[in-house]
């Protein structure tokens, strides 16, 4: 096996941290939230609609690939650093390899997937260095997904609760939220590695629901990865997929209610309009 090359990377970026980001959000007692959905639920049994969550009370967001198109930056960092340590015989990994084997997974899992013969301390050091490189690049290149500002305003105007739920390490998540100007937008942030189980298990989304005190019957999720969609569906919520990097067909087969290209997609706004109409009808008949 090739020896690990220690890369000394540094960043001058110091994000502004919202006080809520310092709270340890994940707790062991999440049994009060029902686990009513199965990731194996067939696409034919789901409706391409969000009206089932009326009245809507909360929207939960993944971060990487959902709020921002960060995967190209992660891919660049992994490609450069894996090549440095002689991974894949020293040949650069392909984007296809990155999508299939790395994207959406949390770092503790990647330690075993990428470096099964390394000791854990060594693998973790590699992942820490990679994340440092990602933060340096992201501070210069990161941009939000088209239409995010419009969606955030729609959410704020309706007083909905919102949470960021991610498998990213906390320093990455805090930096991205700060760079995107969303520090004051999110009520809470849940980090997968701080839960008993990260995505694709439902624990991070169940913890977010518990913390904002909303039932899964009145919330939905935005996600871009297979593991994230599995987690949201297993937590009992509809999931809107973002097909920035993963094929739409794959996201639908995984369990997404429907898939959009970005937050300006007419499918999303039609679904939100239908959701509001159902809520209004429920209020009239109540």
Domain ranges of the chain: 19-69+145-285, 71-141
DSSP 265: -
- The model's pTM: 0.81
Please state the φ and ψ torsions of residue 60, each to the nearest 5 degrees. Answer: -115, 135
Annotated active-site residue 203? The verdict is: no
Is residue 62 annotated as a catalytic residue, yes or no? Answer: yes
pLDDT in tens, 178-199: 999 999 999 999 999 999 999 9
Location of structure tokens 């002689």? 86
| pLDDT recorded at residue 105 | 87
- List, in sequence order, the alpha helices (H) in 142-216: 148-157, 170-179, 203-212
Q: Are 164 and 177 in contact (CB under 8 A)?
A: yes
Under CATH, which architecture does the 19-69+145-285 domain have? 3-Layer(aba) Sandwich (3.40)
Q: Which of 64, 71, 203, 265 is catalytic?
A: 64
For the stretch 93-126, what's the b/e string if a residue is b when 16 or more beta carbons lie within 10 angstroms of its beta carbon? beeebbbeebbbbbbbbbbeebbeebeeeebbbb
Q: How far apart are CA 243 and CA 227, in angstroms?
A: 14
pLDDT at 48: 63
Is residue 35 a contact partner of residue 216, using CB atoms and an 8 Å limit? no
Select which of 29, 62, 196, 262 is catalytic.
62
Q: Which parts of the chain have pLDDT scores under 50?
A: 1-25, 27-46
Rounded to whole angstroms, the Cα distance separating 135 from 94 reads 21
């Amino acid at each position: 096996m090739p020896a690990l090359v220690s890369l000394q990377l540094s960043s001058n970026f110091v994000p502004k941290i919202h006080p809520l980001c310092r709270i340890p959000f994940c707790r062991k007692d999440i049994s009060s939230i029902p686990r009513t959905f199965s990731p194996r639920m067939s696409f034919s049994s789901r409706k391409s609609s969000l009206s089932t969550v009326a009245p809507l009370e909360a929207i939960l967001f993944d971060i990487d690939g959902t709020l921002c198109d960060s995967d190209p930056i992660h891919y660049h960092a992994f490609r450069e650093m894996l090549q440095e340590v002689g991974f894949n015989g020293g040949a650069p990994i392909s984007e296809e390899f990155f999508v299939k084997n790395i994207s959406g997974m949390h770092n503790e899992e990647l330690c075993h997937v990428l470096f099964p013969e390394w000791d854990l301390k060594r693998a973790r050091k590699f992942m820490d260095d990679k994340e440092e490189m990602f933060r340096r690049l992201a501070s210069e290149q990161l941009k939000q997904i088209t239409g995010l500002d419009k969606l955030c305003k729609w959410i704020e105007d309706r007083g909905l609760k919102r949470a960021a739920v991610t498998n990213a390490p906390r320093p990455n998540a805090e930096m991205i939220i700060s760079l995107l100007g969303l520090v004051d937008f999110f009520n809470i942030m849940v980090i997968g590695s701080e839960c008993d189980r990260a995505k694709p298990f439902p624990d991070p989304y169940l913890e977010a629901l518990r913390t904002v005190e909303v039932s899964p019957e009145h919330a939905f999720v935005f996600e871009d990865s297979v593991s994230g969609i599995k987690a949201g569906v297993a937590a009992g919520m509809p999931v809107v997929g973002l097909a920035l990097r993963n094929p739409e067909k794959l996201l639908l087969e995984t369990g997404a209610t429907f898939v959009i290209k970005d937050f300006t997609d007419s499918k999303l706004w039609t679904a939100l309009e239908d959701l509001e109409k159902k809520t209004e009808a429920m209020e009239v008949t109540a």
